[in-house]
Amino acid sequence: MQWVILFLCTILSSCCLPLVVAVKPSGLACEGCHGVISELHGKLNKPTKASIAERVPALLNKICKLENLVRYVYSPPKMVKACNGLLGDHRKAITESLVGHFMENPKVSVEELEGDICFEIAGSCKGIKDSPAGKVSDKLVADQILKPATDGRIAIDPLGDKTKKARNGVGGERNGEPLTAGNSEAEQAKSFTRAAQGVKGTSESLKKRDKKDQNQFFGFSSENEPQKAKPAQKDEL
């Protein structure tokens, strides 16, 4: 029995390990590193009284927040996860790199920092971008689910199969076109906008209704015009 269990474990480990490595989110890791270094570079370029050795650790403690990572290929929640993963693995090396570069050259470029940290220290962008000046969106990334469309093209669904079918119907297409990473993000943005407009419209409707109720209570037909009193009815004898 023990030999059977050992045999099964050997087979499972040999066939499943490559799958785990293949779906590693290297595209997200690279964009996360790019976002973190870009934001840190912008903040560290602002002159303050504190030394660079004091500022770098303080900024690293606050950089992984939604409001700091909103203008990148991936959504802010995914960027925050990538940021936390990057600092969890390489915080000390990143701190030393940033302090060293800025002490040597206060006008160091973001490409130089990204080349050192994202390509050399963390290795997040190796094989994803050709250079620090490149963009993740120029290449297919490993953490997106790739599915063939009906016409042979590739449909990219970063949200997963269930979400795509629930939102777009069976087939994973919108208006006859395969779902792509770009229109998926655009659709999410439109959904948030529609939700915000709906809340605003509901709020204004409630205000109008409350104003109407107040006017009726105080005897006004509108905001400024008093309601005319009705003539008293004579009692019939």
Q: Which of 94, 99, 144 is nearest to 123 (CA)?
A: 94
> What pLDDT shows up at residue 14?
47
pTM of the model: 0.51
Measured between alpha carbons, how far is residue 225 from residues 83, 204, 205 in Å?
60, 22, 21
Distance CA 158, CA 185 (A): 9
Tell me the C-alpha distance between 61 and 39, whole Å: 13
Looking at residue 70, its pLDDT comes to 95
pLDDT tens for each residue of the chain, 237 residues long: 555 555 555 555 444 433 333 334 479 999 999 999 999 999 999 989 999 999 999 999 999 999 999 999 999 999 999 999 999 999 999 999 999 999 999 999 999 999 999 999 999 998 888 888 888 754 444 444 333 444 443 333 444 433 333 334 444 444 444 444 444 455 555 555 555 555 455 556 555 655 665 555 555 554 444 555 555 554 443
* Nearest in space to 33 (alpha carbons), one of 130, 118, 94: 118
Predicted confidence at residue 219, as pLDDT, reads 56
* pLDDT at res. 130: 84
Task: Answer whether 82's CB lies under 8 Å from 29's CB.
Answer: yes
- The pair phi, psi for residue 156, each rounded to 5°, is -105, 120
pLDDT at 185: 52
| Backbone φ, ψ for residue 145 (5° rounding) | -85, 120
The whole-angstrom separation of Cα 176 and Cα 202 is 34
Nearest to 60 by CA among 85, 31, 76, 36: 36
